[in-house]
């Protein structure tokens, strides 16, 4: 079952987080296995499945990155081997990766800082550019919704790439 449907909330990249939490607690009480201890095994199993579904829905919908990944997967947009990034972005990332490799052999704290600033700036620009798409997504239909999902997919993939670079940067920072 779709997590948004299970929680009776509209599909959104920016949902009402209080509504998610409220629904989680409501369903946690309703489907708590202890309340069904005297029921038959079939009922106990069904309640356990609903309790697990509730936990999985909450952990996914309450985390922005997992929620984004979930929505994209629900729409069939995250398929292995079919997640291409724009060439200009890949070229920019290749330059950063080359700079990181150079740091491996010749560490320079100023260069590390510069790369960190560049990667943070790129991340901030990505987030700034995608916010209007995320905000208007629930009101979109048809082709415009599909276009928005493609934009979000590209953002998601770029963000994952940048997070790997930032992880590498943090490893360098712990060495210095």
Q: In the Cβ-directed half-sphere of 78, how many Cα atoms lie within 13 Å?
A: 15
DSSP reduced 3-state for 139:
helix
pLDDT number for residue 79: 83
pLDDT tens string 36-75: 999 999 999 999 999 999 999 999 999 999 999 999 999 9
Q: What are phi and psi of 128, to 5 degrees?
A: -65, -40
User: What whole-number percentage of the chain has pLDDT above 70?
Assistant: 99
pLDDT tens string 138-153: 999 999 999 999 999 9
pLDDT number for residue 143: 93
pLDDT number for residue 140: 94
Q: For the chain, how big is the Rg over CA atoms in Å?
A: 21
**Does 176 score more than 70 pLDDT?**
no
CB 23 within 8 A of CB 75: no
DSSP reduced 3-state for 135:
helix
- CA-angle at 158, arms to 153 and 164, nearest 5°: 130
- CA-angle at 72, arms to 120 and 168, nearest 5°: 30
Place of tokens 């959104």: 12
In whole angstroms, give the CA distance from residue 174 to residue 73. Answer: 35
Q: Where do the DSSP E strands lie in the chain?
A: none
**Structure confidence at residue 125 as a pLDDT band (50, 70, 90):** very high
Say what the pTM is.
0.89
Structure tokens at 34: 């202890």
Q: What are phi and psi of 66, to 5 degrees?
A: -65, -35
């Amino acid at each position: 079952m779709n997590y948004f449907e299970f929680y009776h909330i509209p599909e959104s990249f920016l949902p009402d987080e209080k509504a998610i939490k409220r629904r989680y607690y409501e369903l946690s009480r309703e489907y708590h296995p202890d309340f069904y201890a005297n029921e038959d095994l079939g009922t106990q199993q069904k309640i356990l499945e609903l309790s697990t579904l509730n936990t999985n829905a909450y952990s996914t919908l309450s985390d922005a990155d997992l929620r984004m990944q979930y929505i994209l997967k629900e729409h069939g947009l995250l398929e292995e081997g079919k997640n291409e990034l724009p060439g200009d972005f890949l070229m920019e990332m290749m330059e950063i990766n080359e700079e990181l490799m150079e740091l491996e052999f010749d560490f320079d704290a100023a260069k590390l800082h510069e790369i960190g600033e560049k990667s943070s700036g790129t991340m901030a620009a990505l987030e700034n550019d995608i916010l209007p798409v995320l905000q208007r997504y629930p009101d979109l239909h048809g082709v415009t919704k599909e276009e928005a999902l493609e934009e979000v997919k590209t953002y998601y993939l770029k963000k994952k790439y940048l997070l790997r670079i930032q992880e590498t940067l943090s490893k360098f920072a712990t060495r210095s």
